[in-house]
Structure 1
Amino acid sequence: MGSRPTHLFVYGTLRVTFTNPAAVQLRQVCQYVGEGLMPGRLYDLGDYPGAIHLPTAHALVHGSVYALLTAPDALLATLDSYEGVNTPPDPADEYRRESVLISLPNQRIDCWVYLYNQAITDQHCIEAGDYVQYLEA
């Protein structure tokens, strides 16, 4: 986590369409920027998804981009806890927070993203890369 992005890309239960308490809190303290894309693969982990960033992949993960406004470090600490990311990061953590370049319709933004940190074995790949669309199908 070398760079300090000022934005967050979320692809699962924190997306703009979700109403769970963590998603609602995120919308209250951040500014929704729009929908973005990350090269990679999305997997169904049961109650939530996990994404793998693959910079040269043609497959895309769809998600929501938020601008981190006030107290970004406190918000990231809360999100680290929500995502099960330890400080310092532990290789056994289910997710890791990394800086990834995300594509929006008219720009590319460096964003924090919680990436799946375990081996992909029996997890089902969400081929379309869109968790909201996958749940609606």
Structure 2
Amino acid sequence: MHVFVYGTLMNDFKNSIAEFLRNNSTFIGKGITNGEIYDLGSFPGAVFDENSFNTIYGEVYKITSNIEAVISALDTYEGINDPTFNYYEKKEAFIQVHTTQIKASVYHFKKCPNGFKRIESGDYSKYLDSF
């Protein structure tokens, strides 16, 4: 199973869930897809839209061991089953990695993005480096 991460689960970030993902996955490569990414405060939210002219930058991992535990940890981290958080839904999207299209699970920001700052570059790490 492939997963596309675009925020605090990327390699630049050091937290226990990001480490758990990396320890049980193979890094496939940096990826891009169509959509927009927003600054939600201490983390980003991405709206995946194949018709968008904007790009979301992230990383693709293939989960290779402890698959159910990794998926459960990612879902918990992203608040998938937490009705008090309720920011994301899990979807699938096609991610461009080098010359290949890979179908990957993504955490799609499902709330209205009005009022949140759009990250113009589409790259959360680059955006944080600008501060």
Q: Structure 1: where are the runs of 5+ without partners? A: 1-5
The answer on whether the counterparts of 2:87 and 2:109 sit within 8 Å (CA) in structure 1 is yes
Q: TM-score, normalised by structure 1?
A: 0.89
Query: Of 89, 112, 123, which residue of structure 2 is paired with 1:130?
Result: 123
Q: Distance in 1 between matches of 2:109 and 2:117?
A: 14
Match of 1:49 in 2: 44
* Counterpart position of 1:3: none
RMSD: 1.4
Letter in 2 for 1:136: D
Match of 2:74 among 76, 79, 89: 79
Q: Deviations over 1:112-132 (max 9, x none)?
A: 001111111200000110000
2:107 maps to 114
Aligned residues: 129
> What secondary structure, in the 3-state scheme, does the structure 2 residue paired with 1:80 have?
helix
What is the percentage of aligned positions where both structures have the same residue? 34
Residue number in structure 2 paired with 1:103: 96
Residue 32 of structure 1: which of 27, 34, 39 is its match?
A: 27
Offset at 1:13? 0.2
- TM-score, length-scaled by structure 2: 0.93
Alpha-carbon offset, residue 57 of structure 1: 1.1
What does the per-residue CA deviation read over 1:77-124, in whole Å, with 9 as the maximum and x for residues that have no partner?
11111100018xx6x721011111101112010000011111112000
Q: Which runs of 5+ in 2 are unaligned?
A: none
Counterpart secondary structure, 2:7: coil
Task: For 2:92 and 2:68, locate their aligned partners in 1 and report how far apart those are by CA, in whole Å.
Answer: 14
